[in-house]
């Protein structure tokens, strides 16, 4: 995804090269001087990120320069910062481009990808959604919005059950169950054991009902041993649960 982002944004920015040094005079925007975009264009042609960052700075920050030139220079510098791994600065330049023209769907999508890589799902989702609303035919923005929406839903679902075991603590009666409910680590272990065991039983049962029953019987026996051994001298509940989870994980995909 990062490579495609860089290619797209570089493609937008490279159009700056097509502008002539005297392009400012041909625009409808009033300027008191003719802005020389040649240094920025030369840096783009050379493909030198350090030169792009330095040379395009004067063009981006000059409010007398034609807006279209400033936008393309900001996009070019954002791509350069991105290639150098400076995400916050790349986002800052996309901010500049979008302040100059809020309708740039490609830039919104690009900034969304930067936010996503930074771990900021809230701003990323907002940018992908805005890009898709501006341009419903933008396949990248549509795919990004859909994928991130599903990711956020999964995270929400995981958070909803975090630190909760596979059983209802409100009806727990056994001492071992009460201990699991009172300990977030044990609660998560219990839920993971149940989830992986369900997967193993399902895999074993594909065309072999006897194998499925055998795997479930193994889980029932583990629970019976756990219930009976809890509280006895030398019994380590946490270790027993970890060992059971490791065993089940090793079985996944074997059937």
Question: Residue 42 belongs to a domain with what CATH number?
Answer: 1.25.40.10
Residue 239: other Cβ atoms inside 10 A: 9
Beta-carbon contacts of 33 under 8 Å, excluding residues fewer than 6 positions away, are 24, 64
Does 96 lie in the same domain as 49? yes
Residue at which a domain ends, from 134, 158, 182: 158
Residue at which a domain ends, from 110, 126, 158: 158
Does 25 lie in the same domain as 89? yes
Read off φ and ψ for residue 157, nearest 5 degrees.
Answer: -65, -40
Does 241 lie in the same domain as 182? yes
Separation of first and last alpha carbons in the chain: 35
Q: What single string gives the DSSP state of each residue in 75-126?
A: HHHHHHHHHTT-HHHHHHHHHHHHHH-TT-HHHHHHHHHHHHHHT-HHHHHH
Which of the residues in the chain have pLDDT under 70? 1-36, 155-161, 255
| Alpha-carbon gap, residue 39 to 188, rounded angstroms | 58
| Alpha-carbon gap, residue 6 to 86, rounded angstroms | 13
- The per-residue pLDDT for 159 is 62
pTM: 0.56
- The per-residue pLDDT for 18 is 52
Does 127 lie in the same domain as 12? yes
Pair 154, 123: CB distance under 8 Å = no
User: In the chain, how many domains are there?
Assistant: 2
Asked if residue 150 is part of any domain, the answer here is yes
Kindly give the residue spans of alpha helices, DSSP state H, lying in the chain: 2-13, 23-26, 38-46, 49-55, 57-60, 67-83, 87-100, 105-118, 121-134, 139-161, 175-182, 184-204, 209-229, 237-251
| Alpha-carbon gap, residue 87 to 103, rounded angstroms | 22
Does 153 lie in the same domain as 61? yes
Pair 13, 72: CB distance under 8 Å = yes
Does 189 lie in the same domain as 78? no
Query: What is the CB-side half-sphere exposure of residue 115 using CA atoms within 13 A?
Result: 21
Does 118 lie in the same domain as 202? no
Range of the domain at 118: 2-158
Residue at which a domain ends, from 98, 131, 158: 158
Does 148 lie in the same domain as 77? yes
């Amino acid at each position: 995804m990062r490579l495609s982002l860089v290619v797209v944004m570089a493609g937008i920015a490279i159009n700056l090269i097509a502008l002539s040094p005297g392009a400012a005079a041909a625009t409808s925007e009033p300027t008191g001087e003719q802005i020389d975009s040649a240094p920025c264009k030369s840096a783009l042609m050379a493909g030198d990120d350090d030169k792009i960052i330095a040379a395009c700075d004067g063009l981006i920050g000059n409010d007398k320069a034609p807006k279209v030139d400033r936008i393309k220079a900001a996009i070019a510098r954002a791509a350069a910062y991105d290639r150098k791994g400076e995400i916050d600065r790349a986002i800052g330049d996309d901010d500049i481009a979008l302040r100059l023209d809020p309708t740039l769907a490609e830039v919104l999508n690009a900034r969304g990808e930067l936010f996503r890589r930074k771990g900021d799902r809230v701003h990323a989702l907002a940018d992908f959604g805005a890009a898709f609303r501006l341009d419903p035919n933008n396949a990248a923005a549509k795919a990004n919005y859909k994928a991130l929406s599903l990711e956020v839903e999964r995270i929400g679902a995981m958070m909803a059950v975090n630190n909760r075991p596979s059983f209802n603590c409100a009806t727990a009666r056994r001492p071992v169950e009460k201990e699991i409910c009172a300990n977030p680590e044990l609660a998560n272990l219990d839920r993971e054991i149940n989830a992986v065991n369900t997967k193993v039983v399902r895999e074993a049962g594909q065309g072999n009902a006897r194998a499925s029953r055998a795997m479930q019987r193994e889980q029932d026996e583990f629970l019976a041993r756990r219930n009976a051994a809890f509280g006895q001298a030398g019994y380590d509940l946490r270790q027993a649960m970890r060992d059971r989870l490791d065993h089940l994980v090793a079985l996944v995909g074997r059937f």
